[in-house]
Structure 1
Amino acid sequence: MFDPLLDEDATTLAKLIRDGEVSAREITQATLERMEQREPHIHAFCTPTPDIALAQAKSVDAKRARGDTLGALAGVPFAVKDLICTAGVKTTSGSVAYKDFIPEDDDITVERLLAADAVMLGKTTAPEFGYSGVGHNPLFPSPRNPWDLNMTPGGSSAGSGAALAARMCPLALGSDGGGSVRIPAAHCGVYGFKASMGRVPLWPGCRDERYPGVSSWESLEHIGPMTRTVRDAALMMSLMAGPDMRDRHSIPCSDVDWLAAPEMPLRKLRIAFSADFGYVAVDPEVRKVVSAAAERFARELGCELELADPGFSDPGAAFGALVALESDLTGMRKMMSEQGENMSPHLVAMLQREWRAETFTDAIATRKAVSNSLWRFMQRYDLLITPTLATPPFPLNMQGPEIIDGRMVRSDHWLSFCFPFNFTGQPAASVPAGLTASGLPIGLQIVGRHLDDALVLAASAAFERIQPWNHHQPAFTGIA
């Protein structure tokens, strides 16, 4: 009876619940039943919380029965990445060291969504401490891509992307230290938005020095919405954005009308399109699909599109060094000595490396150079469009392809379009651009100038109007 409603967006669901056309409990129960059917195939959720979800839904219905004003997410179910803290609910960060960790506090974003009467379905699987672009960790089965169960959904917000694509929730929280909202959004055919650095405050994640691993990535990490529509992401941003004294990086947000942003008409924008940054090996199907999507901005939205590269060289090594610099190497090396073989091999390799101070300072200099290249470049353009990723989804149990378009590359090369905008803190979104010949999603990345979040949302929504994606969904072969 309620199954078709589960394919509605969050904005629509909240209105239906607010108007009394359906109860929060009915939506939550139907969502949990869908999870029971699909989750054994997808492995998106590592810690489902059905009892908590039903209790929260009951509370929403009770508020409505009393005539109380309901929050903006009245009874809408959402999922939370397992790197994001939830008070009283296990938050493992994908690590054996934290397999029984129950935080004392909600992360600020969870706190704000719950205050808006959202209903938490549980925690979604992520790689250990987020140190990977895919979803493998030592504790839980790897999430699978609902479009093809043999393929990765991307990461590190792997479970969140898979849960959205499998229609097991309309909203999810992801975190993005090097692309980890945008990566699974691209691979799963959903929308992912990384706001400007500081728009969405973080705490205790990345900020609490008591928890090695959990406390990493301080100047790179963002928390962002993952949704099936742009207006749902804007709705989440309207609730999550705004300063908090617990995050020294957080900034005021009074310059953005989040709810109005998707409706903004696009003036005649000047847009740069870079298919490869001048150095990235890009899968031919990705190049073809993204190029066709970019051309629609000129042909149908009246924008001026110009082929142009930002002009910096590959900063991949600098990104790895900055991640190590912002990790608690002392605490995590102690953890490694205790956990040993229970830790992810690529994480162990990072911790075993003898890092030099010059490597870190060189990385800082590279970040400055990339940031300076981009602000100078963006003086000439309103937006930059790129592929989100260099490849379509690839098979599970890989960190990344080592050959792309006939070139031998690093296993993380496929992420090359994402992490530069964690260096700069610019707003960036991944929108579904189309499908490969075999039916796998490809993402288009839309990047704005520093603090021009509203224009990124507006451009995303304009593209969504001319090339809608929410009606496309996986076939769920072999799934009820």
Structure 2
Amino acid sequence: MDEAITLPVAELAAAYRRRDLSPVEVTTAFLDRINDVDPGLRAFVTVLPDTALLQAKAAERTFAGGEPAGPLSGIPVALKDAFHVAGSPTSLGSRVYEGLISKSDSGVVRRLRAAGAVFTGKTSTAEFGQSATSENLLGPETGNPWDEGRTPGGSSGGSASAVAARLSSVAVGSDGGGSIRIPAAFCGIFGLKTSPGLCPDEKGFRGMTDFVGAGPMTSIVADARPLLGILAGRDYARREVPRLRIAYCARPEGRPVDPGVARAVDAAASQLAAMGHDVVHTDLPLDGWNDVFGPLVLEDEHRERGHLLLRHAEELTRYERSSLRAALALDPASVARAHELLPQYRMRLAALFSRFDLLLTPASAVPAFPHGERPARIDGQEVDQLWGPFPFAVPFNVAGVAAASVPCGFTEGLPVGAQLVAPAGAEQLLLDVSEDLEEALEFDRLAVVSRWSRATVPAP
């Protein structure tokens, strides 16, 4: 079972079909690992052993009877605590909703359930997804599996941490301003931000509505294919990649980047060139994204959660209170202007793809940093406390395109992510290039798993 928890999705499914492995035994192994490891990691807000075992038993009956199995039948899936699972708590990372039981599955969960997935639990998130780290008032922040004293990023930090430490085969996150790609980069996993509307979460949580989408968070790119296929209702089988023209921007908008991060992403660019692609050093016209993002996110927060400031202010995180207060002071003219600028920004970025097939940037400006210690300076330059450590993800939410973080190396023992960006709807190309790059770079994704073995798990 120690080996089974590291198997890719396709190999796990094949072992189930051959009856070499049992979905119940594998699920039990993951639940035991969560029980042993998660007290020191805190990736999960709620573990769902009863639900998981019922789903695993159903999968086992399917395989035993030789019946057609769903694409994710018996595969353990962790869910960000922003998706509703019928009969289970959904806190949204907030003390206000702690213990609130969801009455029905939201759209993402419904599709995963129909595909035979096994729900290991709900993973920690920033309150209402409003931070690029994962701290909230429900308990200590989730640890990064590479160094539990550091942030896993956010807001899908619990999902990233769970996948990296192999507490679940795969996980689902959501990304409205980098919330999949930032924690994927910090935790050394693959994370994909999907194009707007590709993976709807019907009757689900609403936040960053103009920019957000659900997406897969996996140890390897191949595991993201069936997961995204279920979420999007499409087939993403691997295809051969032609020679591409790739725009590489090492420091978008001239922002500083940690030297170790820069070296790792430079190496990824060189690897793509060695694979035969035309990699062109290019400045990207990303300026102006916050003139759109800031007002529209605040407008959304005021509409969806403005009432909480009056009734539950003391139960909210500092950053959520700040957002809601800023929303109260928001100039309606800036909101109207943001709505006007959004399609213009998207047209400007879409024009890049008339010249390039893909874009390449760092996924973040720094590696994972200690809890509560956002860098004030990067490579000797002062940076904004809000976006300074991770300014390269959110422009592509505003642009409405597809983007992924691919592990590309290490700096001082911490993983680094390279961000690949594709036109809206080009998830197939993004997966194919990401998998080619992953194989070429040979990132050691299992190095951290042994660190969290039962014998060596750090004390909580």
Query: Shift of the alpha carbon at 1:362?
Result: 3.0
1:78-136 Cα offsets, whole Å, 9 max, x none, are: 10000111111100001122112212221212111111111100100001100000001
Identify if the C-alpha distance between structure 1 residues 51 and 312 changes in structure 2 by more than 3 Å, giving closer, same or farther.
closer
The aligned amino acid for 1:81 is K
Does the 8 Å contact 2:70/2:116 carry over to 1?
yes
Aligned pairs for 1:45-444 (under 5 A) are 45-205=44-204, 214-242=205-233, 257-259=235-237, 263-299=238-274, 301-313=275-287, 315-327=289-301, 329=302, 332-353=305-326, 354-398=329-373, 400-411=374-385, 412-436=387-411, 438-444=412-418
**Aligned with 2:3: secondary structure?**
helix
Amino acid aligned to 2:123: T
CA contact (8 A) 1:144 1:150 kept: yes
Distance 1:180 1:330, change over 3 A: closer
Aligned mates of 1:349, 1:317 — CA distance in 2? 18
1:18–1:74 contact (8 Å) kept in structure 2 = no
Aligned-residue offset at 1:65: 2.5
Query: What letter corresponds to residue 349 of structure 2 in structure 1?
Result: L
Structure 1 residue 63: deviation in Å?
Answer: 2.2
Shift of 1:470: 5.3
- Residue 51 of structure 1 aligns with an amino acid whose one-letter code is D
Name the CA distance, whole Å, in 1 between partners of 2:154 and 2:47: 19
Matched residue of 1:431: which SS?
strand
Q: Deviations over 1:19-69 (max 9, x none)?
A: 211110100111111111210110000000111111111111122223322
Tell me, what secondary structure is at the counterpart of 2:253?
A: coil
Contact 1:35 1:168 in 2 (8 A): yes
Q: Distance in 2 between matches of 1:64 and 1:454?
A: 29
Looking at structure 2, the residues matched to 322 and 105 of structure 1 have their Cα atoms a distance apart, in angstroms, of 28
Letter in 2 for 1:127: A
Query: Quick check: 1:185–1:192 contact (8 Å CA) kept in 2?
Result: yes
Secondary structure at the residue paired with 1:126?
Answer: coil
Structure 2 Cα separation of the partners of residues 158 and 302 of structure 1: 35
| Structure 1 residue identity aligned to 2:248 | F
C-alpha contact (below 8 Å) 1:279/1:314 kept by paired residues: no
Contact persistence 1:79–1:123 (CA under 8 A): yes
Contact 2:210 2:296 in 1 (8 A): no
Aligned counterparts of 2:240 and 2:416: Cα–Cα separation in 1: 26
Shift of residue 286, structure 1, vs aligned partner: 1.0
Contact 1:318 1:364 survives alignment (8 Å): yes
CA shift, 1:427, in A, is 1.0
Residue ranges of structure 1 left out of the alignment (5+ in a row): 206-213, 243-252
* Corresponding residue SS for 1:3: coil
Structure 2 gaps of 5+ residues are none
1:469 to 2:443 alignment? yes
Aligned residue runs from structure 1 range 35-46, under 5 A: 35-46=34-45
The whole-number CA distance in structure 2 between the counterparts of 1:70 and 1:153 is: 34
> What secondary structure sits across from 1:297 in the alignment?
helix
Report if aligned partners of 2:289, 2:398 keep a CA contact under 8 Å in 1. Answer: no
Q: How far has the Cα of 1:373 moved from its partner?
A: 2.2
1:433-470 Cα offsets, whole Å, 9 max, x none, are: 1000x210000011112222211111101101211235
CA contact (8 A) 1:137 1:344 kept: yes
The TM-score with structure 2 as length reference comes to 0.94
Which amino acid in structure 2 is aligned with residue 346 of structure 1? Answer: Y
Please say if residues 316 and 416 of structure 1, whose CA atoms lie closer than 8 Å, have aligned partners that are also in contact: no
Does 373-382 or 150-159 show the bigger shift?
Answer: 373-382
| Residue-pair matches, total | 451
Residue 409 of structure 1, CA deviation: 1.5
Equivalent AA in structure 1 for residue 249 of structure 2: S
Root-mean-square deviation (CA, aligned residues, Å) is 1.6
Paired residues of 2:217 and 2:224 also in contact (CA < 8 A): yes
TM-score normalised by the chain length of structure 1: 0.91
Asked if structure 1 preserves the Cα contact closer than 8 Å seen for 2:129 and 2:207, the reply is no
CA contact (8 A) 1:165 1:473 kept: no
- Counterpart CA distance in 2 for 1:302 and 1:332 is 50
- CA deviations on 1:124-169 (whole Å, 9 max, x unpaired) are 0001100000001111321000001111000100100000111111
- 1:211 maps to what in 2? none
Whole-angstrom distance in 2 between the partners of 1:268 and 1:435: 27
Equivalent pair of 2:206/2:304 in contact (CA under 8 Å): no
SS for the counterpart of 2:52 is helix
- CA distance in 2 between counterparts of 1:356 and 1:442 reads 38
Distance, in Å, in 1 between the alignment partners of 2:231 and 2:357 is 25
Say if 1:282 and 1:78 are closer, same or farther in 2 by CA, change over 3 A.
same
SS at match of 2:417: strand
Deviations 1:189-232 (A, max 9, x none): 00001222111122222xxxxxxxx4222221100000111111
Q: Percent identity?
A: 36
CA deviation map 1:233-257 (0-9, x unaligned): 1111111114xxxxxxxxxx5xxx4
Structure 2 contact 292–398 (Cα < 8 Å) conserved: no
Distance 1:451 1:51 in 2: 37
Question: Partners of 1:391 and 1:146 in 2: how far apart?
Answer: 17
CA distance in 2 between counterparts of 1:82 and 1:332 reads: 17
